Structures are given as structure tokens and as C-alpha cells.
Amino acid sequence: GQSLEQPSEVTAVEGAIVQINCTYQTSGFYGLSWYQQHDGGAPTFLSYNGLDGLEETGRFSSFLSRSDSYGYLLLQELQMKDSASYFCALDRAGNNRKLIWGLGTSLAVNP
């Protein structure tokens, strides 16, 4: 089977940097995705790692290490609007993107 673990809550202050870790167990996958969700609204895509290493998209970066079964999402220059839940999800590439989700990390950004 497949499972993912992430911290349930993280707190940080505006302007800081925060890292949300994700460890996983799987028999096979193609990539690790990250989604953001505000107050139970529509999840929105943030980043995807199909290969090991760092992917950078503006203030957000994501990292994957397949040998360590580990990834993380790095958020820089935190803003209040970044307060949300962040989910890592195992992605099976190809034509059918199923996504197996972690439980989510609730990020609170304080002034």
C-alpha cells in the first residue's frame, strides 16, 4: 500500500522560512505533488517533483529524495495569506493521475 506522513501543525511568523516535511511508503510512484487548501476550499496545485532534487516556483520550493522516501515543501518570505493546509500527495504519472494524499499540515503564520 501507500501512505504518507506529515506534521499536523506548523507555526511561523511573517517573513520567516518554514519547511514542511513529508515521508512516504509506497511500492511505486512517479512523483510527489504538493497542494494548498484554504479553509476547506478547493485544493490548488503548488509543486511537483518527478525527479530527485529541488524544484523552485517563486517563494515555494519542493524537494524529493527517493532514496530517503522523503520530500519537503519550503515556503520563504512567509505572508499571512500562506496560512492554510498543505498536503503532499503521491502521484502516479501516466494518463490517470490518482493521487494518494497525506493528512495535511496546518500552517499558521503569525504577525
Partner 1 sequence: EPEVTQTPSHQVTQMGQEVILRCVPISNHLYFYWYRQILGQKVEFLVSFYNNEISEKSEIFDDQFSVERPDGSNFTLKIRSTKLEDSAMYFCASNGGGAGGTGELFFGEGSRLTVL
Q: Which residues bind partner 1 (CB under 8 A)?
A: 31, 33, 35, 37, 40-45, 48, 50, 87, 89, 91, 93-104
For residues 23 and 36, what is the distance between their CA atoms, to the nearest angstrom? 18
Residue 35 CB contacts under 8 Å (≥ 6 apart), including other chains: 43, 44, 45, 46, 86, 87, 89, 101
Q: Which helix (H) or strand (E) element contains residue 62?
A: strand 60-65
Rounded least distance, CB 83 to partner 1, Å: 16
- The residue among 58 and 94 lying less far from partner 1, judged by its C-beta, is 94
Rounded least distance, CB 41 to partner 1, Å: 6
SS3 (DSSP) at 82: helix
Rounded least distance, CB 45 to partner 1, Å: 4
